[in-house]
Amino acid sequence: MSAVDVTITEVGLRDGLQNTKNFMPTAAKNAWIGAEAAAGVHRIEVCSFVPAKLIPQFVDAGEVLAYANTVSGLTPAVLVPNLKGCERALAAGARRIVAPISVSEAHSMNNVRKTTAQAIDDFARMAGLVKSQANGGRAQLIGACSTAFGCSIQGAVAEEDVVRVALALREAGADAISLADTVGYANPAQVKRLFDKVCSAIGGNFHIEAHFHNTRGLGLANALAAYEAGVRNFDSTLGGLGGCPFAPGASGNVVTEDLVFMFESMGVNTGIDIDKLIEVRKTVFAALPDAELYGHISRAGLPKGFMPGPRRA
Protein backbone atom coordinates (compact mmCIF):
# COMPACT_ATOMS: atom_id res chain seq x y z
CA MET A 1 0.00 0.00 0.00
CA SER A 2 1.33 3.43 -0.92
CA ALA A 3 1.73 6.23 1.64
CA VAL A 4 -1.50 7.76 0.36
CA ASP A 5 -3.92 5.79 -1.80
CA VAL A 6 -6.15 8.72 -2.76
CA THR A 7 -5.61 12.48 -2.71
CA ILE A 8 -8.45 14.63 -1.42
CA THR A 9 -8.43 18.31 -2.28
CA GLU A 10 -10.34 20.61 0.05
CA VAL A 11 -12.14 23.17 -2.10
CA GLY A 12 -14.33 24.77 0.55
CA LEU A 13 -12.32 27.97 0.70
CA ARG A 14 -13.10 28.53 -2.98
CA ASP A 15 -16.17 26.55 -4.02
CA GLY A 16 -17.71 26.88 -0.58
CA LEU A 17 -17.05 30.52 0.21
CA GLN A 18 -18.06 31.81 -3.23
CA ASN A 19 -21.70 31.22 -2.26
CA THR A 20 -21.65 32.52 1.31
CA LYS A 21 -23.35 35.83 2.04
CA ASN A 22 -20.90 37.00 4.69
CA PHE A 23 -17.24 37.74 4.07
CA MET A 24 -14.89 35.44 5.94
CA PRO A 25 -12.01 37.49 7.35
CA THR A 26 -8.59 36.81 5.89
CA ALA A 27 -7.25 35.71 9.28
CA ALA A 28 -10.07 33.16 9.60
CA LYS A 29 -9.35 31.81 6.11
CA ASN A 30 -5.68 31.44 6.98
CA ALA A 31 -6.56 29.69 10.24
CA TRP A 32 -8.76 27.27 8.27
CA ILE A 33 -5.93 26.50 5.84
CA GLY A 34 -3.39 25.93 8.61
CA ALA A 35 -5.68 23.74 10.71
CA GLU A 36 -6.82 21.54 7.82
CA ALA A 37 -3.27 21.11 6.58
CA ALA A 38 -2.32 20.01 10.12
CA ALA A 39 -5.12 17.42 9.93
CA GLY A 40 -3.40 15.86 6.91
CA VAL A 41 -5.10 17.60 3.99
CA HIS A 42 -2.14 18.46 1.80
CA ARG A 43 -3.96 19.99 -1.18
CA ILE A 44 -6.34 22.90 -0.61
CA GLU A 45 -7.98 25.15 -3.22
CA VAL A 46 -7.65 28.42 -1.34
CA CYS A 47 -9.22 31.11 -3.54
CA SER A 48 -10.30 32.24 -6.98
CA PHE A 49 -8.71 35.01 -9.00
CA VAL A 50 -11.92 36.60 -10.23
CA PRO A 51 -12.90 40.29 -10.20
CA ALA A 52 -13.88 41.26 -6.66
CA LYS A 53 -16.98 43.03 -8.01
CA LEU A 54 -18.30 39.64 -9.16
CA ILE A 55 -17.40 37.63 -6.04
CA PRO A 56 -16.29 39.97 -3.21
CA GLN A 57 -15.29 36.97 -1.08
CA PHE A 58 -12.01 36.76 -3.02
CA VAL A 59 -10.87 40.36 -2.72
CA ASP A 60 -8.03 39.02 -0.54
CA ALA A 61 -7.01 36.20 -2.90
CA GLY A 62 -3.39 37.31 -3.12
CA GLU A 63 -3.03 37.54 0.66
CA VAL A 64 -4.60 34.14 1.26
CA LEU A 65 -2.43 32.46 -1.37
CA ALA A 66 0.68 34.12 0.07
CA TYR A 67 -0.08 32.61 3.46
CA ALA A 68 -0.94 29.18 1.99
CA ASN A 69 2.41 29.11 0.20
CA THR A 70 4.13 29.27 3.60
CA VAL A 71 2.35 26.20 5.05
CA SER A 72 4.74 23.25 5.14
CA GLY A 73 3.67 20.23 3.12
CA LEU A 74 0.72 22.03 1.51
CA THR A 75 0.12 22.42 -2.22
CA PRO A 76 -2.29 25.35 -2.55
CA ALA A 77 -4.56 25.46 -5.59
CA VAL A 78 -6.44 28.39 -7.09
CA LEU A 79 -9.21 28.72 -9.64
CA VAL A 80 -9.03 31.10 -12.58
CA PRO A 81 -11.84 31.83 -15.07
CA ASN A 82 -9.73 33.25 -17.89
CA LEU A 83 -6.29 34.40 -19.08
CA LYS A 84 -6.32 37.56 -16.97
CA GLY A 85 -7.08 35.51 -13.87
CA CYS A 86 -4.25 33.16 -14.77
CA GLU A 87 -1.86 36.09 -15.10
CA ARG A 88 -2.87 37.37 -11.67
CA ALA A 89 -2.52 33.92 -10.12
CA LEU A 90 0.96 33.36 -11.51
CA ALA A 91 2.06 36.83 -10.38
CA ALA A 92 0.82 35.95 -6.88
CA GLY A 93 2.86 32.74 -6.80
CA ALA A 94 0.28 30.08 -7.69
CA ARG A 95 1.67 26.55 -7.99
CA ARG A 96 -1.52 24.71 -9.02
CA ILE A 97 -4.10 26.43 -11.22
CA VAL A 98 -7.55 25.05 -12.02
CA ALA A 99 -9.28 26.48 -15.10
CA PRO A 100 -12.91 25.36 -15.56
CA ILE A 101 -14.18 24.95 -19.11
CA SER A 102 -17.92 24.35 -19.43
CA VAL A 103 -18.87 21.49 -21.72
CA SER A 104 -22.39 22.92 -21.73
CA GLU A 105 -22.54 25.82 -24.18
CA ALA A 106 -25.36 27.42 -22.18
CA HIS A 107 -23.38 27.30 -18.93
CA SER A 108 -20.25 28.60 -20.66
CA MET A 109 -22.09 31.64 -21.98
CA ASN A 110 -23.74 32.23 -18.59
CA ASN A 111 -20.49 31.81 -16.67
CA VAL A 112 -17.72 33.40 -18.76
CA ARG A 113 -19.60 34.88 -21.74
CA LYS A 114 -17.71 32.63 -24.16
CA THR A 115 -18.60 29.60 -26.23
CA THR A 116 -16.91 26.36 -25.20
CA ALA A 117 -14.59 26.61 -28.21
CA GLN A 118 -13.61 30.17 -27.26
CA ALA A 119 -12.97 29.06 -23.67
CA ILE A 120 -10.71 26.25 -24.92
CA ASP A 121 -8.76 28.78 -26.99
CA ASP A 122 -8.38 30.90 -23.86
CA PHE A 123 -7.16 27.82 -21.97
CA ALA A 124 -4.51 27.23 -24.63
CA ARG A 125 -3.24 30.77 -24.02
CA MET A 126 -3.14 30.04 -20.29
CA ALA A 127 -1.14 26.89 -20.97
CA GLY A 128 1.32 28.88 -23.06
CA LEU A 129 1.72 31.38 -20.24
CA VAL A 130 2.27 28.64 -17.66
CA LYS A 131 4.79 26.84 -19.86
CA SER A 132 6.77 30.05 -20.29
CA GLN A 133 7.75 29.81 -16.62
CA ALA A 134 11.10 28.34 -15.64
CA ASN A 135 10.83 24.55 -15.55
CA GLY A 136 11.82 24.30 -11.90
CA GLY A 137 9.09 26.69 -10.79
CA ARG A 138 6.36 25.96 -13.34
CA ALA A 139 2.83 25.79 -12.01
CA GLN A 140 0.57 22.82 -12.69
CA LEU A 141 -2.45 23.60 -14.89
CA ILE A 142 -5.64 21.58 -14.50
CA GLY A 143 -8.34 21.61 -17.17
CA ALA A 144 -11.69 21.10 -15.44
CA CYS A 145 -14.58 19.96 -17.62
CA SER A 146 -17.51 21.67 -15.88
CA THR A 147 -21.10 20.43 -16.28
CA ALA A 148 -19.68 17.13 -17.52
CA PHE A 149 -22.67 15.15 -16.26
CA GLY A 150 -25.48 17.57 -17.00
CA CYS A 151 -26.43 21.23 -16.81
CA SER A 152 -29.30 22.98 -15.01
CA ILE A 153 -29.53 25.47 -17.89
CA GLN A 154 -28.99 23.27 -20.95
CA GLY A 155 -30.11 19.92 -19.55
CA ALA A 156 -28.39 16.81 -20.91
CA VAL A 157 -24.72 17.04 -21.92
CA ALA A 158 -23.56 14.52 -24.51
CA GLU A 159 -20.78 12.23 -23.33
CA GLU A 160 -19.08 12.62 -26.71
CA ASP A 161 -18.85 16.35 -26.03
CA VAL A 162 -17.16 15.69 -22.68
CA VAL A 163 -14.60 13.41 -24.33
CA ARG A 164 -14.01 16.00 -27.07
CA VAL A 165 -13.43 18.83 -24.55
CA ALA A 166 -11.16 16.67 -22.38
CA LEU A 167 -9.05 15.77 -25.40
CA ALA A 168 -8.90 19.40 -26.50
CA LEU A 169 -7.71 20.50 -23.05
CA ARG A 170 -5.02 17.84 -22.98
CA GLU A 171 -3.82 18.84 -26.44
CA ALA A 172 -3.88 22.51 -25.37
CA GLY A 173 -1.44 21.76 -22.55
CA ALA A 174 -3.33 20.60 -19.46
CA ASP A 175 -1.28 18.69 -16.89
CA ALA A 176 -4.41 16.91 -15.65
CA ILE A 177 -8.12 16.75 -16.44
CA SER A 178 -10.96 16.97 -13.94
CA LEU A 179 -14.55 15.93 -14.67
CA ALA A 180 -16.93 18.08 -12.63
CA ASP A 181 -20.56 17.38 -11.76
CA THR A 182 -21.16 21.08 -11.28
CA VAL A 183 -24.89 20.84 -10.53
CA GLY A 184 -25.16 17.35 -9.04
CA TYR A 185 -26.86 15.55 -11.95
CA ALA A 186 -24.59 12.48 -12.07
CA ASN A 187 -25.41 8.92 -11.08
CA PRO A 188 -22.88 6.13 -10.38
CA ALA A 189 -23.45 4.21 -13.62
CA GLN A 190 -23.00 7.40 -15.65
CA VAL A 191 -19.88 8.30 -13.65
CA LYS A 192 -18.17 4.99 -14.29
CA ARG A 193 -19.13 5.03 -17.98
CA LEU A 194 -17.91 8.58 -18.58
CA PHE A 195 -14.63 8.22 -16.70
CA ASP A 196 -13.97 5.00 -18.60
CA LYS A 197 -14.58 6.80 -21.91
CA VAL A 198 -12.39 9.78 -21.04
CA CYS A 199 -9.56 7.62 -19.65
CA SER A 200 -9.65 5.45 -22.76
CA ALA A 201 -9.55 8.51 -25.02
CA ILE A 202 -6.72 10.43 -23.34
CA GLY A 203 -4.62 7.54 -22.06
CA GLY A 204 -4.42 5.65 -18.78
CA ASN A 205 -1.22 7.36 -17.62
CA PHE A 206 -2.75 10.83 -17.74
CA HIS A 207 -4.04 12.22 -14.42
CA ILE A 208 -7.83 12.27 -14.14
CA GLU A 209 -9.59 13.94 -11.21
CA ALA A 210 -13.18 14.09 -9.96
CA HIS A 211 -15.33 16.91 -8.58
CA PHE A 212 -18.81 15.97 -7.35
CA HIS A 213 -21.70 17.88 -5.82
CA ASN A 214 -24.18 16.24 -3.51
CA THR A 215 -27.25 18.10 -4.80
CA ARG A 216 -29.34 14.93 -5.06
CA GLY A 217 -27.63 12.83 -2.41
CA LEU A 218 -25.41 10.77 -4.75
CA GLY A 219 -22.08 12.48 -4.09
CA LEU A 220 -20.43 9.63 -2.16
CA ALA A 221 -21.88 6.97 -4.46
CA ASN A 222 -20.46 8.86 -7.43
CA ALA A 223 -17.07 9.20 -5.76
CA LEU A 224 -17.00 5.45 -5.15
CA ALA A 225 -17.93 4.79 -8.80
CA ALA A 226 -15.10 7.08 -9.93
CA TYR A 227 -12.68 5.30 -7.58
CA GLU A 228 -13.70 1.95 -9.08
CA ALA A 229 -13.05 3.47 -12.52
CA GLY A 230 -9.47 4.22 -11.45
CA VAL A 231 -9.72 7.84 -10.23
CA ARG A 232 -7.46 8.66 -7.29
CA ASN A 233 -7.91 12.44 -6.93
CA PHE A 234 -11.12 13.90 -5.48
CA ASP A 235 -12.44 17.36 -4.54
CA SER A 236 -14.70 17.95 -1.53
CA THR A 237 -15.66 20.68 0.93
CA LEU A 238 -15.69 20.79 4.70
CA GLY A 239 -19.29 20.61 5.85
CA GLY A 240 -20.45 20.24 2.25
CA LEU A 241 -20.28 24.01 1.87
CA GLY A 242 -20.58 25.27 -1.69
CA GLY A 243 -22.27 25.40 -5.05
CA CYS A 244 -21.91 27.27 -8.32
CA PRO A 245 -23.31 30.85 -8.28
CA PHE A 246 -23.71 30.74 -12.07
CA ALA A 247 -25.54 27.37 -12.18
CA PRO A 248 -29.10 27.52 -10.81
CA GLY A 249 -29.88 24.68 -8.42
CA ALA A 250 -26.28 23.75 -7.58
CA SER A 251 -25.93 23.03 -3.88
CA GLY A 252 -23.08 21.80 -1.74
CA ASN A 253 -20.18 19.57 -2.64
CA VAL A 254 -19.34 16.13 -1.30
CA VAL A 255 -18.60 16.50 2.42
CA THR A 256 -14.86 16.17 3.10
CA GLU A 257 -15.38 14.46 6.46
CA ASP A 258 -17.76 11.87 4.98
CA LEU A 259 -15.54 11.23 1.95
CA VAL A 260 -12.51 10.63 4.18
CA PHE A 261 -14.55 8.28 6.37
CA MET A 262 -15.82 6.30 3.39
CA PHE A 263 -12.34 5.71 2.03
CA GLU A 264 -10.71 5.03 5.39
CA SER A 265 -13.45 2.56 6.35
CA MET A 266 -12.70 0.73 3.09
CA GLY A 267 -9.02 0.50 4.01
CA VAL A 268 -8.07 3.20 1.50
CA ASN A 269 -5.49 5.55 3.01
CA THR A 270 -6.23 9.28 2.64
CA GLY A 271 -3.51 10.41 5.06
CA ILE A 272 -6.14 12.52 6.85
CA ASP A 273 -7.00 12.36 10.55
CA ILE A 274 -10.81 12.34 10.77
CA ASP A 275 -10.95 13.40 14.42
CA LYS A 276 -8.77 16.44 13.69
CA LEU A 277 -10.85 17.20 10.60
CA ILE A 278 -14.05 17.30 12.65
CA GLU A 279 -12.38 19.71 15.08
CA VAL A 280 -11.40 21.89 12.12
CA ARG A 281 -15.05 21.96 11.08
CA LYS A 282 -16.09 23.25 14.50
CA THR A 283 -13.45 25.96 14.49
CA VAL A 284 -13.97 27.09 10.91
CA PHE A 285 -17.71 27.49 11.03
CA ALA A 286 -17.62 29.56 14.17
CA ALA A 287 -16.56 32.23 11.65
CA LEU A 288 -19.57 31.42 9.42
CA PRO A 289 -22.51 31.11 11.83
CA ASP A 290 -25.13 31.49 9.09
CA ALA A 291 -23.65 28.90 6.72
CA GLU A 292 -25.77 25.83 5.96
CA LEU A 293 -23.66 22.77 6.73
CA TYR A 294 -24.04 19.11 5.89
CA GLY A 295 -22.42 15.84 6.82
CA HIS A 296 -23.12 12.65 8.72
CA ILE A 297 -19.91 11.53 10.39
CA SER A 298 -19.48 14.82 12.26
CA ARG A 299 -22.93 14.34 13.81
CA ALA A 300 -23.08 10.57 14.29
CA GLY A 301 -19.46 10.10 15.27
CA LEU A 302 -17.11 7.30 14.29
CA PRO A 303 -18.35 3.70 14.73
CA LYS A 304 -17.13 1.84 17.78
CA GLY A 305 -13.91 0.04 16.95
CA PHE A 306 -13.31 2.06 13.78
CA MET A 307 -9.75 1.75 12.47
CA PRO A 308 -8.40 4.07 9.74
CA GLY A 309 -7.23 2.48 6.50
CA PRO A 310 -3.46 2.37 7.24
CA ARG A 311 -4.05 0.47 10.49
CA ARG A 312 -6.01 -2.31 8.87
CA ALA A 313 -4.43 -5.69 8.42
Known catalytic residues are 244
Distance of CA 57 to the CA centre of its chain: 17
Judge whether 268 and 37 are in contact, CB under 8 Å: no
Determine whether 106 is exposed, middle or buried from the number of CB atoms within 10 Å of its CB (0-12, 13-18, 19+).
middle
